[in-house]
Amino acid sequence: MSREMVDVQLEPSVLDPNVPLLKVRDLDVQFATGTGVVRAVRGANLTLYPGQSLAIVGESGSGKSTTAHAIINLLPGTGKVTGGSIEFEGNELVGASEKTFVGIRGSQIGLVPQDPMTNLNPVWSIGYQVRETLLANGFTGSRREANARVAELLAEAGLPDAARRAKQFPHEFSGGMRQRALIAIGLAARPKLLIADEPTSALDVTVQRTILDHLETLTAELGTAVLFITHDLGLAAERASQLVVMYRGQVVESGPALKILQDPQHPYTQRLVAAAPSLASRRIQSAKERGQRPEELKAVTGGDGVDRSRGELLRVEHLTKEFEIRGAAKGSNTFKAVDDVSFTVTRGTTMALVGESGSGKSTVANIMLNLLQPTEGTIYFEGQNLHGLGRKAEFAFRRRVQPIFQNPYGSLDPMYSIFRTLEEPLRVHHIGNSKTREARVRELLEMVAMPASTMRRFPNELSGGQRQRVAVARALALSPEVIVCDEAVSALDVLVQAQILTLLNDLQAELGLTYLFITHDLAVVRQIADEVCVMQAGRIVESATTDEVFDNPRQEYTRELLAAIPGASLDVFGSGPAA
């Protein structure tokens, strides 16, 4: 590889591979809050050698990002390192001066931040922002040389036509391209360590995979050590040789990645490995396996296939939705978000619509909920055409189809107590009196395994998973037949996600619910869905039962999606990747 030669000449590596590059010992980090001191990190240890890759895995609030930020002294707000040591190349960083950190950041330790949408300054060109990093880290060449170097770095990060692209501004870049630019910035000064904080969690899976592949190749060539921060165990194990699992501020398990996956020792890691959808989907269908016991569940979900005799509940025919593009000339510019989509959903089963952002899956969901009118096409609900329902019939229809949304923080009215939230549907549809309504609210909370005392609380007191349970309870309030889950578990931590999926599955068995499950996450599909429609750019490209799609994908795009599931290529349990 010629580029490797050039880079090695640029900065010959003098690091001894047997001396730790980064050594964190008994690290304590505290945050002062209004209600007292929060110990965000407690006694964390980790060791990283030159050129190695290590991933810190944990759910939100586990202290994984805090640990990484403590290393480069970028703790937010009132955060402070209160104990332990951080040694970088043998130099103690705890208590070092701000000047030391300015010298280290960028040139010794690079950072690829989490959100590509907000981490580039929108008023400066991409090239300017890369050049800024170069100049801040002692680049001494002329302006022309700097520009040439910027183009080189961007090209290296995988941006095509880099010299021209460098003149563009962040809003002209897609999410993936921005993340490449951020990688170029992170690696601009050839740091010995790159901290990648959830580098791709905001991106589509296929984009995520190409970027991580590229990052892996690049850092291997440059001999850069990488510290990944991620919530995704599959991704961590696939991209890093060493894992550090954090839970509530503590390191509960650490060691070689494969060893941890195959033989997790700490109960938390065991839970995590069992719940990780990307890993689990390789071998179990958790939802159904649990359901093997009661006979009726098998009858409801129709076992592995779909029992057509239960009758179709929903039929969608030639659905098309066009949006007018704002500011475009009249009549000329419409955007087809959904293009000739047809499918049927059998009663009591789960149909998953899978696709990346912009595939039109959420538009389909909104049309199903009767929140949007289709441009063309018809939806039959129990044989009844949904289009052109009268006001009264539409109101009645609302009772039968209910949504669950993605964002647990946005889906509950912050001004409503949980009781009011759950009572609202009953009140709107004039069901029962105040006494029976309260009984129903209690019953609903019980269904989603929440204590009845929750009803006096407000959404801001509940965690994300708890709010999502309330959202499920609200959707169930009117005893609907169909629930449209629009990315209903995508914003949740893995363990919570597994819980909610189990809950949804149990409720399906109990109440005979039909789910339309909209998601970008194929791994989740395997756990919950009976049938799958894969959408790309508004069209359904593949439609089959879940097993067929996973074991025998017919379309190239589906294969790509499957291969992009983080951890899909891992051979943890002795079953190779399907694609």
Partner 1 sequence: MPEPTNPLARPEQDHFFASLDSAVLGDVDVVDESAAPTSLWQDAWRELRHRVLFWASAAIILLVIVVAVAPQLFTSVDPQYCLLSDSLGAPGPGHPFGFDKLGCDVYARVIYGARASVAVGVLTTLIVTLLGATVGAVAGAYGGWFDSLLSRVTDIFFAIPLVLAAVTVMSIFRSSRTILTVVLVLGVFGWPQIARITRGAVMSVKNAEFVTAAKALGVSKPATIVKHLIPNALAPIIVTATVSLGTFIVAEATLSFLGIGLPPNVVSWGHDISQAQRQLRTMPSLIFYPSGALALTVLGFIMMGDAVRDALDPKARKR
Contacts with partner 1 in 242-271 (CB under 8 A)? Answer: 242, 247-248, 250-256, 259-260, 263, 265-269, 271
Q: Is 382 in the site for partner 1 (CB under 8 A)?
A: no
Binding piece for partner 1, criterion CB under 8 A, among 102-110, 121-129, 366-374, 514-522: 366-374
- What's the min distance (Å) between Cβ of 14 and partner 1? 16
Site for partner 1 in 308-327 (CB under 8 A): none
432 counts as binding partner 1 under rule CB under 8 A: no
Options 146-154, 281-289, 338-346, 455-463: segment touching partner 1 (CB under 8 A): 455-463
| Residues 496/528, Cβ–Cβ less than 8 Å | no
Calpha distance 518→405 (Å, rounded): 10
| Site stretch for partner 1 (CB under 8 A), options 72-80, 217-225, 279-287, 509-517 | 217-225
Instruction: State yes or no: residue 425 binds partner 1 (CB under 8 A).
Output: yes
Strand, helix or coil for residue 360: coil
Tell me which residue has tokens 């990307």: 278
Q: DSSP labels for 30-88?
A: EEEETTEEEEEEEEEEEEE-TT-EEEEE--TTSSHHHHHHHHTT---TT-EEEEEEEEE
DSSP string, 1-35: -HHHHHHHHHS-----TTS-SEEEEEEEEEEEETT
Token pair belonging to 187:
């690696």
Name which of 252 and 535 has its Cβ closer to partner 1. Answer: 252
Asked if 431 and 450 count as a contact pair (C-beta separation under 8 A), the reply is no
- Nearest approach in angstroms of CB 502 to partner 1 is 11
Shortest distance in whole angstroms from residue 69 CB to partner 1: 19
Residues 8-47 contacting partner 1, CB under 8 A: 17-18, 20, 23, 45, 47
From candidates 324, 394, 446, 556, binder to partner 1 by CB under 8 A: 394
Site for partner 1 in 105-164 (CB under 8 A): none
Smaller CB separation from partner 1, 241 or 434 = 241
- Find the shortest distance in angstroms from Cβ 24 to partner 1: 11
Q: Residue 192: what are its φ and ψ, rounded to 5°?
A: -85, -20
Cβ burial 418-427 (10 Å sphere, 16+ → b, else e): bbebbbebbe
Place of tokens 């359904």: 540
> To the nearest whole angstrom, how small is the minimum distance from the Cβ of residue 370 to partner 1?
8
User: Cβ closer to partner 1: 142 or 460?
Assistant: 460
Q: Are 186 and 110 in contact (CB under 8 A)?
A: yes
Give 336's DSSP letter: E
Least distance from partner 1 to the Cβ atom of residue 43, Å: 8
Tell me the number of residues near partner 1 by CB under 8 A. Answer: 80
Among 94, 112, 166, 401, binds partner 1 (CB under 8 A): 401
If one asks whether residue 462 binds partner 1 (CB under 8 A), the answer comes out as yes
Does residue 265 sit in helix, strand or coil? Answer: coil
Binding mask 271-300 for partner 1 (x = CB under 8 A): x-----------------------------
Q: Shortest approach of partner 1 to residue 376 CB, angstroms? A: 23
Choose, by CB under 8 A, the member of 463, 490, 545, 555 that binds partner 1: 463
30/402 with CB nearer partner 1: 402
DSSP assignment of 156-168: HTT-TTHHHHTTS
Q: How far is the CB of 450 from partner 1 (least distance, A)?
A: 6
Q: Which of 381, 405, 550, 557 binds partner 1 (CB under 8 A)?
A: 405
* Token representation of residue 158: 């995988």
CB of 219 to partner 1, least distance (A): 9
If binding is defined by CB under 8 A, does position 52 make contact with partner 1? yes
Q: How far is the CB of 546 from partner 1 (least distance, A)?
A: 26
Helix axes of 267-275 and 494-511: crossing angle, nearest 10 degrees: 60
Least separation in angstroms between CB 337 and partner 1: 17
The Cα diameter of the chain in Å comes to 80
Candidate list 161, 376, 382, 413; residue touching partner 1; CB under 8 A? 413
200 binds partner 1 (CB under 8 A): no
Restricting to residues 475-514, name those near partner 1 by CB under 8 A: 478, 495-496, 499
What is the β-pairing status of strands 242-247 and 250-256? antiparallel
Residue 400 interacts with partner 1 (CB under 8 A): yes or no: no
User: What DSSP string runs through 439-502?
Assistant: HHHHHHHHHTT--GGGGGS-GGGS-HHHHHHHHHHHHHTT--SEEEEESTTTTS-HHHHHHHHH
Return d(Cα 515, Cα 479) in angstroms, integer. 13
- Under the criterion CB under 8 A, does residue 474 sit at the interface with partner 1? yes
Strand, helix or coil for residue 245: strand
**Closer of 44 and 126 to partner 1 (Cβ):** 44
For the CB of residue 340, give the shortest distance to partner 1 in the complex, in Å. 25
CA 363 to chain centre: 20
For residues 248-269, one letter each, b for 16 or more C-beta atoms within 10 angstroms of the residue's C-beta and e for the rest, the string is ebbbbbbeebeebbeebebebb
